[in-house]
Amino acid sequence: MTVDVQSTRFCDRCGAPFNGRGVCLEGHPSMRLCARCGAPLDERGFCLEGHPVAIHYCARCGAPLDDLGICLEGHFGAVAAGPLRAPVEPEPEAETNAEALAAEAVAHASAVAKAQFARAADVFDRVSSQARATHIEVPPRFVAPAIVGCVVVVLTIATFLVARQLTSGPQAAEVPTQIPAAPAQAPTLAPATAAQAPTAAVPGTLLPAAPLLAPTQPPAPTPTAIPTAQPKAPPRPTLGQHVLNPTTARPGDKLTLSYLITNPASSAMQAVLQAKLFQRPSNAELDDSQDELTVTLAPGSQIYQRVFQLPAAATPGAYDVTWTLVSTDGSVMYAQVTDTGGLTLQAPAPTPAPTSTPVPATQIPTATAVAAAAPAVPVQVAADPADAVRTFYSLIDHQAYRAAWDLLGPHFQANNTYAGWVKGYATTQSVAVPSATTLSQSGSSATIKFTIVAVDRQAGGQLLTQTFAGTWDLVLIDGEWKLDVAHVSKIS
């Protein structure tokens, strides 16, 4: 039988030629060869020489290699042979760039080409040996084309694998680049060359390493401004409760305004107590600026008072009362509050006309010239002893001390001097009589039970409010009740 060697393939096991369907004429199936000795493998993949399973495995992950020596997982450089073993745990892949990836692909293609070339040469030698054993002559001209064909096939497959790996394989890890902050003085950079021109990154292409641009001189350090602590504004005092006493008055009367002030600071501070009265709808405004009081506010909450003198010509009606707390220089208003209709100003009390007593003609001297006597000031005599007590303290509240002294009885005046008595009210700012009732009254004597609230200014400017209670023994002298003996004690 004559066989055309140039167009016939041979069985790897026995060297017999294949038929037109690619089946060995001896009935052997196409077999793989042992990676250790080159002997054919049986249908189960075991070497016919008795070697253990000797197919190739990937040195990186342990997966089997295909007939071309390519890892089934797609790794490069995975050339290893030996018995079946557990896959090697892959090491964490370091950050690589496109240049390292291409170099690895080229090295792998070269290794695969060499391995396949050696395998093709070995197969050709065995086929030639078997052909000679079966008296089939292999023409010399077949050797060179067979080798060249194997090399071409191997290189083609290697090129295809490299191209596939570069286009769909793992890409080079993108390393974030931190751009340094611009120095205070821009450095002078070396002129860029054509190789340093920026190139857009395209998947599957190799990028040149970025050039290092160094400044010709080190950048000058930028001075860092040290933030300074902003001074905090001092806490402002606040105005809480506020009281007007009395709420009904007449022109010329004196009012007492109380301020409950809270100083949140840890140290004392000064402030000015201001007050104004405003009448609607006449828009009349009363401002007692001469009685404005500068006080020292102690830390915490405390009551401070000032007086307000109503002008004698004030128009009767309802007035809005405004309490104001300002700084000593008047530049900062700490607090302000207004009570609408807080004061009712009544019309002035009518002054009783003086009564003249006719003088008998016999009492008028005819020969001697008598100097004209000054008319006496009319005095309104209190018919009720309790009214006499209210009038007495009202005169003290208005600092009419001489008129109040005249309402005192002979026993009190005999045991006190006018100067010493007035000195006792040197710090008194106001006096109010919440109650005055008659306990007993018999003929020319009476006993009145009373309560008074006095406001005194202390040495530091603070106002001290005190409450006193007791009784007054009054005597009736010439039709006028006089406060003669006092029994008074402080209750708060």
Burial (0-12, 13-18, 19+ Cβ within 10 Å), 448: buried
**Tokens (6 digits) for 86:** 């557990």
pTM: predicted TM-score of the whole model, two decimal places: 0.32
CA atoms within 13 Å, Cβ hemisphere of 36: 15
What pLDDT score was predicted for residue 475?
94
Which residue, 251, 307, 297, is CA-closest to 270?
A: 297
What pLDDT score was predicted for residue 396?
92
Q: Do the first three CATH levels of 238-345 and 383-490 match, i.e. the same topology? A: no
User: Averaged over 254-267, what is the pLDDT?
Assistant: 90
**Tokens (6 digits) for 237:** 């005092």
pLDDT tens digits along 8-38: 667 766 777 877 666 678 777 655 666 667 7
CATH number of 238-345: 2.60.40.3880
- Residue 85: pLDDT above 70? no
What pLDDT score was predicted for residue 379?
41
Query: 31-41 burial string, b = 16+ CB within 10 Å, else e?
Result: bebbbbeebbb
**Tokens (6 digits) for 492:** 């708060």
Distance CA(353)–CA(476), nearest Å, equals: 24
What pLDDT score was predicted for residue 243?
85
CATH class for the region spanning 383-490: alpha beta
Q: Where are the domains of the chain?
A: 5-168, 238-345, 383-490
Distance CA(80)–CA(308), nearest Å, equals: 111
Question: Mean pLDDT: which of 123-132, 157-166, 245-254 is highest?
Answer: 245-254
Distance CA(408)–CA(24), nearest Å, equals: 155
- Residue 130: pLDDT above 50? yes
What's at 462, amino acid-wise? Q
Banded pLDDT at 447 (limits 50, 70, 90): very high
CB 256 within 8 A of CB 433: no
**DSSP characters over 25-74:** TTSPPP--B-TTT-PBB-TTS-BTT-PPP--BB-TTT-PBB-TTS-BTT-
Average pLDDT of the chain is 74
Q: Say which range, 47-56, 212-221, 233-242, has the weakest mean pLDDT.
A: 212-221
∠ CA 115-121-125, rounded to 5°: 145
- Residue 88: pLDDT above 60? no
What pLDDT score was predicted for residue 315?
87
Pairing of strands 269-279, 293-297: antiparallel
pLDDT tens digits along 298-333: 999 888 989 999 998 888 889 999 989 999 998 999
